[in-house]
Chains A and B, each alone.
Chain A
C-alpha cells in the first residue's frame, strides 16, 4: 500500500535562513511525488513534482525538492526563507501505473519568523 510520512508537525526557521521540510514515502512501483502548499482558508496549490529524470526538481516560488530513491525521501527545500512562505505544506505520492490514487502526508506547518 502507498503511504506518505511527514515526520514534523511544525518547522520553524528565521527569515533568510535555508529551510527543509521532510517527506518519506512508500509505494510499490516508481513513484510520482508532489509538494503542495495551503494558505489559510484556501485550497491546495501545486508547488513541484518529481516524475523521472534529475533528482533535484525546481518549482514555484524558489522551492526545490530532492528525490532520494535509496532513502525513499523527497524533502522540500528553499535556500532563503521568506515570512510569506509561512503556510501548511503537504507531500503527496501517486501510484503510477496502478490505480492512480493520490495520497497525502499529514502536513507540516512552516513558520518563518522575521
Chain B
C-alpha cells in the first residue's frame, strides 16, 4: 500500500481564496483524522471521522473550515475564505478498526499571503 496520500504537498494562496486539501486514506482503514501543526499550537486535532461519519469536529477553528468524507477512500478539508493565520502544515491520518495506531500522510504545507 502507498500509505496515506495527501495533495497538494505545498499550497500558496492569497488571503480570501478558497483552499481545498485532499486525503486518500489507506485502503481498509475506517478512521480518518485531520490535524494542523504550527509552532505556536503544536499538533491540533481538527476533525475525526469513523466509517465516513464525522464523530468529533470540536477542533475545527471556525466556520471557515469544513471537512467531508464522501466515501471510504477520500476526504477533503476546505478553508473558505483563507486567512494568513491559517498558514500551517495540515496532516491527514488513518487507522484500521480496533483503536490502533494511526498512519500519517506527508502533510500539506499551506501558506496564505
Residue A34 is within 8 A (CB to CB) of chain B in the complex: yes
CB < 8 Å A-B pair total: 55
Find out whether the CB atom of B33 lies under 8 angstroms from the CB atom of A102: yes
Find out whether the CB atom of A100 lies under 8 angstroms from the CB atom of B50: yes
Find out whether the CB atom of A34 lies under 8 angstroms from the CB atom of B101: yes
Find out whether the CB atom of B99 lies under 8 angstroms from the CB atom of A100: yes
Chain B residues with CB under 8 Å of A106's CB are 42-43
Find out whether the CB atom of B104 lies under 8 angstroms from the CB atom of A45: yes
Chain B residues with CB under 8 Å of A104's CB are 35, 42-43, 45
Instruction: Offer 26 A-B interface pairs, CB within 8 angstroms, sorted by A.
Output: A32-B100, A34-B101, A36-B104, A42-B107, A43-B4, A43-B91, A43-B105, A43-B107, A44-B91, A44-B93, A44-B104, A46-B102, A49-B101, A96-B99, A99-B48, A99-B55, A99-B56, A101-B45, A101-B55, A102-B33, A102-B45, A102-B93, A104-B45, A106-B42, A106-B43, A107-B43
Chain B residues with CB under 8 Å of A36's CB are 104
Question: How many B residues touch A, CB cutoff 8 Å?
Answer: 23
Separation in Å of the A44 CB from the closest CB of chain B?
4
**Cβ-neighbour of B101 out of A43, A46, A100, A105 (below 8 A):** A46
Residue A90 is within 8 A (CB to CB) of chain B in the complex: yes
B92's closest neighbor in chain A, by CB? A43
List chain B positions with a Cβ less than 8 A from chain A.
Answer: 4, 31, 33, 35, 42-43, 45, 48, 50, 55-56, 91, 93, 95, 99-107
* Cα(A28)–Cα(B95), bound, Å: 21
Residue A82 is within 8 A (CB to CB) of chain B in the complex: no
Chain B residues with CB under 8 Å of A34's CB are 101
Find out whether the CB atom of A49 lies under 8 angstroms from the CB atom of B55: no
3 tightest Cβ-Cβ pairs between the two chains A and B: A43-B104, A106-B42, A104-B43
